[in-house]
Structure 1
């Protein structure tokens, strides 16, 4: 069959167009270099707690993880530099510092540190495995479990610039803070598109916290002085009553943080807040560590499991502000043997709301206190796990 010149020309145009289209497609697909692999999502974890609540131990569960850059209480530098201010005045400065550290912008410390400074100028720097391993220190490997003593001895002579450099090599940034008294001050961070923030709230039985604070009263004197400034100026408080009034402030702030996070008013917190009791962690350290890692999108390797087991199953009671092997369950109950029942009653009266919120049973007498088999942990109240608000009777009755 013969094809006319016009049809032949039309067929030629169609074929040419198809070839041109295929050429463009191939250029688009193969003419450019392959796109870079997507970087792992950066996570920012804020451990909120109060002094003497097991937060240093909990922080170490994160710090010793090889994928975590950890910093302990960076806001210490604010409180130590501005000791004449009340907590309410300092909260915004604490929030801004936390944000900057999460973004690995360590220039924020310029306002709170000497111009000439080393890595070791940073408060409790040796508690950070990341600051004791490359690139912050080349004595150890990133996957090593590193003690504070070894780090302090071998890794202190590095410039402060290395802190920011090290931070930028990690995808998980974890900060532990005890100087946040109002969750609302952190709301802007939850809305900040540059952050992927989760909040892990650690609490402890107020009676245990009080007893531990009494043992460490000299170390806490500067912090206590700032908290004391927030007490009502109309109150005439005896010196002997000051520790109890400070504890009341702490209890109220911890309960307020929890209720603010769980009352459903801030939708961004729904899947980004977790509360844990220290007593539950020491009774099941491996299980709770796994739960915290899952919350933070971290894996759990056998080396970390062995380390956590050994750390919590030692024979001694440990030392203040030092993380070493101890019998964690015995330590968590030590207050029941040493705290006077009169003090127990005072704390229970001042911290009733917090104890009900977090599920701690009130003691009726000294016999119950001395009976270590008498369980003081209650299930977390049902309303505390939902957006349902508790009644005034439930909190005070």
Structure 2
């Protein structure tokens, strides 16, 4: 009887262990799934995510994550353009990664010629693929930049973090956001990143600006004041080279993409800064539709607060000799392609009742 009782007890014990083990496995599975849901749906509250050194991509999150790239050049309105999307609290924003890489390597931030930017191209494209998956491992330039520059922390909405900002904290915040956006001003050709863009299903907003508005803004930003007047008017050589580089960038990025495969036609949207600056109530909704994002009241307020009518403000800040020089430095085909009207006299330049930007009935994909 005693042996029989012991046998029955051991049987019940083994069954209990099996049941408990099964329950624990089920609870662990539920808990892990709940943690992932929490990280992807809730705002980050200061916790630490383990496994930062691994691929932190959550497969379910990756499939539904919106990834947006604003591809532009410095002084073309890219900050304004990205803000209309990045101000949505569901987005994590990586602000100008090219700036981070150049600064980290002690290169000249004012240089953006093709040969110069080619030196960072591979690192930039590789980093884009990583941060589009919230992977910041080994990116020392990212952490040096956000710890040094307050504007980087501001745009990424991580000003609440203690310094120095840690990789685990940034990763957790990024993963807590459903979507991600970046603004890249130092990529020579969008086709250089085509493999990453296609693999990560990125929506590209390709921003262009009138070369004359670009040149005026670049001159003011760089502090160029002296120009050589007379019969053969010229700008300082550095500014002239900036203008040439920009017009080459416009031509280089438009035609190859336009003639590329169907993916680019469906996933690249061309926007002129002048249209966005002067007609945000029309252009911003089109941007949202393009990236498959619903508008919210915050964006509506941002549109209402926008300073309209600034798209051609350069016309009152330059003289006709300066304008003619810019037009000489930039091929006629660039003006025709993007609908910018060339001017020939002071009266045409100053008559702001007549636009120098040809109307576009609709903002369409390239």
Q: TM-score scaled to structure 2, two decimals?
A: 0.72
Going from structure 1 to structure 2, the CA distance change for 1:386 and 1:301 (only over 3 Å counts) comes to: closer
What does residue 109 of structure 1 align with? 139
Distance 1:105 1:296 in 2: 22
Going from structure 1 to structure 2, the CA distance change for 1:51 and 1:156 (only over 3 Å counts) comes to: farther
Q: What SS does the aligned partner of 2:266 have?
A: coil
Does the Cα contact within 8 Å between 2:94 and 2:156 map onto a contact in 1? no
Aligned length: 293
Distance 2:95 2:337 in 1: 27
What does residue 241 of structure 1 align with? 237
- Which of 162, 171, 175 matches 1:168? 175
Distance 2:340 2:359 in 1: 9
- Which of 52, 75, 79 matches 1:56? 79
- Which of 296, 299, 303 matches 2:298? 303
Does the Cα contact within 8 Å between 1:42 and 1:171 map onto a contact in 2? yes
**1:3-42 equivalent positions in 2, closer than 5 A:** 41-42=64-65
Distance 2:177 2:171 in 1: 11
Q: CA deviation at 1:278?
A: 1.0
Is 1:125 aligned with 2:152? yes
Going from structure 1 to structure 2, the CA distance change for 1:344 and 1:92 (only over 3 Å counts) comes to: same
- Structure 1 residues not aligned, in runs of 5+: 1-32, 138-154, 220-237, 313-326, 388-397
**1:307-346 equivalent positions in 2, closer than 5 A:** 307-310=302-305, 312=306, 327-329=307-309, 331-346=310-325
What does residue 372 of structure 1 align with? 352
Q: What SS does the aligned partner of 1:216 have?
A: helix
Two-structure CA RMSD over aligned residues (Å): 3.0
- Which of 98, 109, 127 matches 1:75? 98
Q: CA deviation at 1:270?
A: 2.0
Going from structure 1 to structure 2, the CA distance change for 1:65 and 1:205 (only over 3 Å counts) comes to: same
Distance 1:386 1:288 in 2: 13
Does the Cα contact within 8 Å between 1:190 and 1:268 map onto a contact in 2? no
Q: What SS does the aligned partner of 1:343 have?
A: helix
Q: What SS does the aligned partner of 1:69 have?
A: strand
Q: CA deviation at 1:304?
A: 1.9
Does the Cα contact within 8 Å between 2:70 and 2:206 map onto a contact in 1? yes
Q: Which has the higher contact order (CA 8 A, sep 6+)?
A: 2
- Structure 2 residues not aligned, in runs of 5+: 1-28, 38-59, 109-114, 225-233
Is 1:266 aligned with 2:261? yes
Deviation string, structure 1 residues 19-45 (Cα, Å, up to 9, x no partner): xxxxxxxxxxxxxx99x8965711211
Deviation string, structure 1 residues 242-268 (Cα, Å, up to 9, x no partner): 3112211111112221222211x2332
Going from structure 1 to structure 2, the CA distance change for 1:55 and 1:81 (only over 3 Å counts) comes to: same
Deviation string, structure 1 residues 276-332 (Cα, Å, up to 9, x no partner): 01111122212211111111121111232012211x1xxxxxxxxxxxxxx341x33
Distance 2:337 2:364 in 1: 10
Q: What SS does the aligned partner of 1:270 have?
A: helix
- Which of 79, 91, 96 matches 2:126? 96
Does the Cα contact within 8 Å between 1:100 and 1:108 map onto a contact in 2? no
Distance 1:90 1:376 in 2: 36
